[in-house]
Structure 1
């Protein structure tokens, strides 16, 4: 019968850790691939957007509006970003309950009987021996694997940089207040 220490050593903890790590790596690759597909769809899908509206207040107080023609921009350019995830934590918990039972029972019963009578002698010995030996072993084990998945910001180079070019002439001194 294996000892309690041996039972604990027989738990394939390195295998569990390796399988958990490979499972996380495969899941992370699938999550990253999904985020890249989403980024591609967002970059390829264009919508018309009016990039500017100008409000003009005339000297007489009337207000008018002019707008630039709509421009087709991608969903990525308007700020929709794919969600990226990463595994931030992984836990393996192993619980074992080991119960070993051994018992030995021996019973000896001796009965003696003697009879005497007229010219007759009789003797009887009766012996009973019983032996009972019982072994028991019960092993219960549970394991639990927990991972924590959190969203993370998209890579910095994925988010488009907004560059503003102002070609308006600078106000002259007479135009400044």
Structure 2
């Protein structure tokens, strides 16, 4: 069977979440447009005719392609992800190529998310699983150090040095 025909549940989940996010933004955009004489003066909690802050409602707030501006907190230039977005005992893929993990509360690790076997993006572990899996050919790597445990990968995952700054996991 060709590699292109292999079902990737992680990619399917990402596609579903991106589609749901786009639909949610479209629904929210359709809810606006009421013309109040006093927009933003009192009113119901959570209801506002003011435009939403772009840094928190759409796009990637960690994209290095431009500055967000506004009153949002300053995101460090080398930020990968907000520390609160990384589940304890699990991880997330950021910038499409970095796996950021939080094996224990407040402790962060990161690896190149590209499997050294054939370049597939590995799946983040969850619920304290000590193993990172590659969905393409089932190579396995240790959360502790990225080393290869099993499978066709010739070596472990490349480590990415990270730290925490202003509530964000950043490249060190």
TM-score calculated relative to the size of structure 1: 0.25
Q: Which has the higher strand share?
A: 1
TM-score calculated relative to the size of structure 2: 0.26
Q: Which has the larger radius of gyration?
A: 1
Task: Work out which structure has the larger RCO, using CA pairs closer than 8 Å and 6 or more positions apart in sequence.
Answer: 1
